[in-house]
Structures are given as structure tokens and as C-alpha cells.
Homo-oligomer: A and B are copies of this chain.
């Protein structure tokens, strides 16, 4: 297997952390999103949507979409379990994972894409000539604030995002928080439960991936 990767982007990191938790070490090919390498013919031949990451299997099959890649790894390398063991737990983890995307990843991306100068003509991932919309930077920022409120509330009731153990939902949340922090929207000072959780998940060796 081989991963088409981008060090600075949150979605490839989700897969890198997931692989590290599974103890799976595979070669990685760096594709720079900032420099637009994902929009060039060479990478579009790998992934016609120009999105990262993409997993290439030894037989040449390719899987894109972060969570589809995680699913493949979970199915082929079941331990440690990160996506649930029975029907209810699988559904609950999937629901929380989606909440972390919907509450957190979407507004962070909206804020970043529409305020970062190199992306002024790349307002949507994988595309060129989509103008940034300044009002979306503000809407995204308000969304990130709302994400932090909801996250703090959840982590005041639960050790990890989806319950009492570490799962793929924590991986998404960690990558969102670190990406938002890079975009100058770190965890609010008063959010002690979120800080406790963030220190915990960041201390796992996988967080360096």
C-alpha cells in the first residue's frame, strides 16, 4: 500500500493518525496542496477530484475519501478497534465522527479557504477559479466558536468524543482542533474539559503522525 499525503492538511493527517493507531506503516508520497500540486494532471490521474488523501493498494486499486480509507484499514486490520464493535456502537461512533466533520471540519475549512491569500481563487477544495467569499470567512469563524462550545459541553460529560474509549471520532476532532489552532483559533482558555482531552489525545504516539 501507499498513501498520497499532504503534511499540512487535516484530512491526510486523519488517515496518518488512524494508520499509526493500527501500527500500519506504509510509504507516503507528498502532494502539496498549497503549491497546487493536487490540481495538476499528474495527481488528477490518481484522483480526478484533486482531493487528498488517496490510498493505493498493491493491486493498483485506489480508495479516496478519508473515512472510506479508514474503513478499509479497520476491516483489514481490526485491532485496536477504532470504529465500533456492535451495531449500536458502530452507529454512535459514526454519528460522532460526522458531528466532528459537520461541527468542526466544515467551518474551519470555510474560515481558512476564504481568508488565506494563496487560496483566493480556490474557495473550494480540488477546484480552480472558485473565488473566495469574505462573508464565508466570518461565517466559518462563528462556526468554529460554536464547535468549541459544543465540544466543551460534550467533553464535560464524556472522557472521549464518542464515549469512554478513544475512537476515530477523536482522531477527526484532534485534527480539526490542531488545524483551527494553526489558523489562530485555538481552544478557548476557559474550556478545561477540552484542554484535558486535547492533552490526553496529543500524548498518544499517533498524534505525531
Interface residues of A (CB under 8 A from B): 49, 57, 61, 63-65, 67-69, 71-72, 75-76, 86-88, 90-92, 94-95, 98-99, 102-103, 123-124, 130-131, 133, 135-136, 139, 142-143
Contact = CB atoms under 8 A, between A and B. Distances in A.
Given A72-B88, A90-B75, A63 B130 contact: no
Q: How many copies does the complex hold?
A: 2
B49 A69 contact: no
Of the listed residues A49, A65, A75, the one surrounded by the most CB atoms of chain B closer than 10 A to its CB is A65
Nearest to A92: B63
Contacts of A143: 124
A76 B65 contact: no
B99 A72 contact: no
Given A94-B68, A139-B130, A61 B49 contact: no
Contacts of A88: 57, 61, 63, 72
B75 A63 contact: no
Contacts of A102: 49
A45 to B, nearest CB: 15
B65 A98 contact: yes
Nearest to A130: B139
Given A123-B139, A139-B133, A95 B68 contact: yes
B63 A95 contact: yes
A144 to B, nearest CB: 13
11 contacts: A64-B95, A65-B94, A65-B99, A68-B94, A68-B98, A72-B88, A72-B90, A75-B87, A131-B135, A135-B135, A136-B136
A26 to B, nearest CB: 15
Contact of A72 (B67, B91, B130, B139): B91
